Chain A
Amino acid sequence: MKTLEELKVVRESMEGEVALRTHGNASSKYERHVLVCGGTGCTSSGSPKIIAKLKEELAANGLSDKVQIVKTGCFGLCERGPIMIVYPEDSFYSRVNVDEIPRIVKEHLVDGNPVKEFLYEETVVGDEIKALDDTAFYKKQHRVALRNCGVIDPENINEYIGRDGYRALGKVLTEMKPEDVIQTVLDSGLRGRGGGGFPTGMKWKLARNIVPDADIKYVCCNADEGDPGAFMDRSVLEGDPHVVLEAMTIAGYAIGATHGYIYVRAEYPIAVERLNIAIKQAREAGMLGEDIFGTGFSFDIDLRLGAGAFVCGEETALMTSIEGNRGEPRPRPPFPAEKGLFQKPTVLNNVETYANIPQIILNGAEWFASMGTEKSKGTKVFALGGKIKNTGLVEIPMGTTLREVIEEIGGGIPNGKKFKAAQTGGPSGGCIPAEHFDIPIDYDNLISIGSMMGSGGLIVMDEDNCMVDIAKFFLEFTVDESCGKCTPCRIGTKRMWEILDKITKGKGTLEDLDKLEELAYHVKSNSLCGLGQTAPNPVLSTLKCFKDEYIAHVVDKKCPAGVCKDLLSFEIIKDNCFGCGMCARQCPASAITVTDYTAPGKKKPAYSIDKDKCVKCGACIATCKFKAIIKK
């Protein structure tokens, strides 16, 4: 495929196929499309077996030519995985079991009646089946970066082309000057989705202009998504890898680069495989390589795998790592736009940022800028996890409130527990308490309440999570991942962790809290790179919003959430004890013995726990049917 005309032919031949999955009434060669999620979450819960069984059953029923099976990327609602959707009916089968497949094939695909009892229960209202977009999880979402995830087969470039793929690249190369491309990205207001929120167009402009006579420039993609509990970028790479290739090529044209690198975590095997397939297909189709669309512009992309170092998500460390060194950050300036990879001017954006670019080019800067808040335009993808009913991937317009995300889209907290905090920004971010529930989510608001956007991890915590323990958990992470190059981060985070450890063991003092805060500010202001500068955030934000929990640990020697084992004690309420002795049999430390007290109305004497022998494992509480044992 060498010309725009040829691209158009492919697009028109595919449009009907993929449109069946979005409009319902389109001209497809097949009667039905069955989409099965092939993302990491659903693959882990068995979607490959479902696809195998589907093939077998379709063949047995003579439907192989009439029903197309499509292995897609993530649909978003990972909690209900593995997920399978049948079009044109838009029937959403959730937590699909292999044993259910024969019935679905027989009743739905042969007879045309969706099997209601296997559908996602929220879509079934009486006799009606609700459209997926009307369910609480999807209603308020707006998919821009994820528009192809869960719609196309990521291993088939033609499906991407059928969804306007590579059309933006064609437009850029044939109708726009590099300066126009940069201006469009600037005008859209797009800011870096990896955490910092630097205006993307500004980055491109600097890289184009700062070293006018540079012989070589590079375009890099940061796909080293390291925040624990965040999987936005992975889902884009798994569900729509071509969008990243197309956007990087556009960036290459804009800044005058001919080569790009994608630095991706080795822990994402499915994403790596799909990227490799996508690069190969794009080269074969002439979308990468020499003389793209016959315009004389050449661009190619290589993949580089990370090797498990969180600090490599920092831009200078990432480039040092691509160069084949220990991934230690470099001081800035010089900024990458001036001296980046191999000392050449470099643009580095993250996956989600790139995923917005082709849509901005096709729909215009104004379209993008019409979404979001004054200073944060467009949408943001969040990986919703932790104590929330609908774990999964959500994309919302900037300015949506935390309440809408957690209570409506997320479905609230399971098991009737009370919300305590939402954590954004991973180890660099902070915890947001319930009082900020109605704040519109954007870059500046999150910073003003002591957290940050980060790359988009959003972990919900309930009353059973101890905030001191959470702060310690994040510090343990940064201690582990600190590269050791600069002292404030290497030693400061370790000392902070030690103070937190002391507090969780009931040995902390009020003075420790002051010391912890002072040290946090030192580490924040003196560290070399973003990792160290933001590492104290989880501590500072919990100290600010959950000071009473710290005080409880330090002064009362209690952990209100019942997490810090050293501060717990277990007790049997004798008047509730039936004397069955189950707890005593379960106790690994033989700490529970029978007493000579029999409660009124009970037949056997009650038991009690010897606190000196108790190892606080909690086995007794789990066994007691009468809720007679409490921890406090």
Chain B
Amino acid sequence: MNSAKSTVPFKGTPEQEAQLIAVIDEKKDDQGSLMPILQKAQEIYGYLPIEVQKIISDRTGIPLEKIYGVVTFYAQFSLYPKGEYTISVCLGTACYVKGSGDIYDKLQEKLGIAGGECTADGKFSLEACRCIGACGLAPVLTVNEDVYGRLTVDDVDKILAKYA
């Protein structure tokens, strides 16, 4: 949450809003429905800017500050849009003891961004994640849905080239 990506203007469409409202109306009377609503909202918009949180607040009656509190608490929710490709490097213990920290460093160096940031062209965002459970393939990283395992630092260039 440190980089200045909040300057990206909100580009929600009426279709997205209609989708969100349908979700809210379906769930809002369930006990403890805020989390499932936020998760759906993030699926619809890709992130949870304040504009989206306002729609949820207006429609459910849950105060905006509470929604903001929940959004900022959980690592999965993002206030900023992500890159076209999200690279997640597993820093779980099994991967870490096999050198995933070096791979993460190398990616930061190659992309010129820190973890949690997005490249200026909007292509890649980089994040560390905690164990995706493919410990047999350690060290592991994912690019969107693709999983790359049994990596060495030298594989980083090849992987990036695939998405360039």
Contact = CB atoms under 8 A, between A and B. Distances in A.
Interface of A: 40-41, 44-45, 78-81, 226-231, 234, 266-268, 304-310, 321-328, 342, 383, 385-387, 391-392, 423, 426, 457, 459, 461, 465, 470, 473-474, 477, 483
A91 to B, nearest CB: 20
Interface string B124-161: 00000111111111101000000101000000000000
Contacts of A483: 73
A229 B131 contact: yes
B75 interface: yes
B98 A229 contact: no
Given A386-B97, A465-B97, A229 B31 contact: no
Contact of B130 (A44, A78, A477): A477
Interface stretch (B2-10, B15-23, B32-40, B79-87): B32-40
B113 interface: no
Contact of B134 (A44, A228, A474, A477): A44
A315 B131 CA distance: 21
Of B35, B39, B130, B133, the most chain A CB neighbours within 10 A belong to B133
Interface string B90-112: 01111111100000000000000
B138 A391 contact: yes
Nearest to B131: A228
A81 B138 CA distance: 12
B131 A231 contact: yes
B132 A461 contact: no
B76 interface: yes
Contact of A231 (B91, B95, B135): B135
Interface string B68-82: 011001111100000
Contacts of A304: 32, 35-36
Contact of A40 (B33, B69, B91, B134): B134
Of A41, A44, A324, the most chain B CB neighbours within 10 A belong to A324
Contacts of A231: 131, 133, 135
Shortest Cβ-Cβ A-B pairs, 7 listed:
A78-B136, A228-B92, A385-B94, A308-B75, A307-B74, A324-B34, A229-B93
Contact of B32 (A45, A322, A473): A322
A306 B34 CA distance: 12
Given A322-B35, A392-B136, 10 more contacts: A44-B132, A44-B134, A45-B134, A228-B131, A229-B92, A307-B76, A308-B74, A321-B35, A322-B32, A459-B93
A266 B97 contact: no
B94 A229 contact: yes
Interface residues of B, number: 37
Contacts of A385: 93-94, 135-136, 138
Contacts of B33: 324
Contacts of B137: 41, 44-45, 78, 81
A81 B136 contact: yes
Contacts of B138: 385-386, 391
Contact of B70 (A306, A324, A470): A324
16 contacts: A41-B136, A81-B136, A229-B94, A231-B131, A231-B133, A306-B74, A307-B38, A310-B130, A325-B34, A327-B73, A383-B94, A391-B136, A392-B136, A470-B97, A473-B96, A477-B130
B36 A40 contact: no
A409 B8 CA distance: 53
Contact of B76 (A227, A229, A308, A465): A308
Contacts of A40: 132-134
Given A40-B133, A266-B39, A308-B75, A45 B93 contact: no
Contacts of B136: 41, 45, 78-81, 385, 391-392
Contact of A457 (B32, B75, B93, B134): B93
A323 B75 contact: no
Given A44-B134, A45-B137, A228-B92, A461 B74 contact: no
Contacts of B31: 323-324, 342
Contacts of B39: 266, 305, 307
B3 to A, nearest CB: 17
Nearest to B73: A326
A455 to B, nearest CB: 12
B107 to A, nearest CB: 15
B88 to A, nearest CB: 10
A386 B94 contact: yes
Interface string B19-58: 0000000000001111110110000000000000000000
A420 B134 CA distance: 23
B135 A78 contact: yes
Nearest to B77: A307
A457 B95 CA distance: 13
Nearest to A226: B130
B75 A309 contact: yes
B97 A228 contact: no
Contacts of B98: 386-387
A543 to B, nearest CB: 19
A326 B149 contact: no
